[in-house]
Amino acid sequence: MEQTNATFQRGFVLLAFSSFGELQLLLFPLFLSLYLVTLTSNVFIIIVIRLDSHLHTPMYLFLSFLAFSETCYTLGIIPRMLSGLVRGGQGISYVGCAVQMFFSASWACSNCFLLAAMGFDRYVAICAPLHYANRMNLTLCAQLVGTSFLSGYLFGLGMTLVIFHLPFCSSHEIQHFFCDTPPVLSLACGDTGLSELGILILSLLVLLLSFCLISTSYTYILAAILRISSTEGRKKAFSTCASHLTVVIVHYGCASFMYLRPKASYSLERDQLIAVTYTVVTPLLNPIIYSLRNRAVQTALRNAFQGGLLGKG
């Protein structure tokens, strides 16, 4: 209890990439550039979908909320990481660390359920196109979005409580650039077996539940596509899912590697580099993938740029 009280009073120190030495100064402009592009791209996606009436459909509604979730996720992590690259080890209070873990876990879990909702949307669009407008109505879309965020918050709260009910040892240095579950758990004293099991169960519930929903949707989608007689028709049907499927593979690949493994396999330095993938790269890939592979988004972006240029003219 004394160790926990001491940790509560002095908090933690995020060492970020201190082991990289002078290389940190080279990482700063790289990560700053990626962050600015990520932030601008996601915000622009939200604005374009909001302003272009052609994109006022369920698929783009979900995409705009995914971009919003990714924006909030990066805002809670990357600015502090950039500050740590410049200043070195950076202090964070006990409560601040818990809050950061809660929101980062919540947004990450919400993304999983939003991707599942987007998979269901594609299932209805391809397997029941004549009933799409009636089934994917505004009420259902709002319920799916609300459930995704509520579920994310509940799972995020559960993960945070599982970690922060533990006593922490005298060491308060987190070998990471944000309060993620593996590096914070590594500072806990005593037997952490039950907490590790709790984190594993919660992670499995989030990833497997959402992934099973996505897999079920795509099983029906694949069956429907195979029933299409023309090759051109199959390509057109599959192209409507390609962007979503690409994002799912990237998102679940990183998340599964990070959270569905035992504590003994953690390598803090390696995990920092992997964490960069899902905190910096993946949020950047989402708008890029949807912009490059989706003609409707391309057209909306082109119109937005042209409208901006004409407005200035």
The domain ranges of the chain are 12-290
Cβ density class 88-113: b for 16+ within 10 Å, e for less:
eebebebeebbebbbbbbbbbbbbbb
CATH of domain 12-290: 1.20.1070.10
> pLDDT, tens digit, for every residue of 229-256?
888 878 877 777 877 888 888 777 777 6
Return d(Cα 145, Cα 140) in angstroms, integer.
Answer: 9
Report the pLDDT averaged over residues 26-50: 88
User: Does residue 313 have a pLDDT over 70?
Assistant: no
- Picking from 33-47, 56-70, 195-209, 288-302, which range would have the lowest pLDDT averaged per residue? 288-302
- Rounded to the nearest integer, the mean pLDDT of the chain is 82
Residue with tokens 């309060």: 179
User: Does residue 301 have a pLDDT over 80?
Assistant: no
Report the pLDDT averaged over residues 109-119: 93
Kindly indicate the confidence band of residue 310, based on its pLDDT and cuts at 50, 70 and 90: very low
Kindly indicate the confidence band of residue 118, based on its pLDDT and cuts at 50, 70 and 90: very high
How far separated are the first and last CA of the chain, in Å rounded?
67
Helix, strand, or coil (residue 13): strand
Asked if 289 contacts 247 with a C-beta cutoff of 8 angstroms, the reply is yes
**The pLDDT value given to residue 146:** 96
203's CB contacts (< 8 A; 6+ apart) are 159, 255, 259, 260
When computed from its CA atoms, the radius of gyration of the chain, rounded to whole angstroms, is: 21
Residue with tokens 């240095």: 173
**The pLDDT value given to residue 260:** 63
User: Does residue 82 have a pLDDT over 80?
Assistant: yes
Asked if 180 contacts 100 with a C-beta cutoff of 8 angstroms, the reply is no
- DSSP secondary structure string, 220-278? HHHHHHHT--SHHHHHHHHHHHHHHHHHHHHHHHHHHHHHSS-GGG--HHHHHHHHHII
User: Does residue 203 have a pLDDT over 60?
Assistant: yes
Asked if 90 contacts 83 with a C-beta cutoff of 8 angstroms, the reply is yes
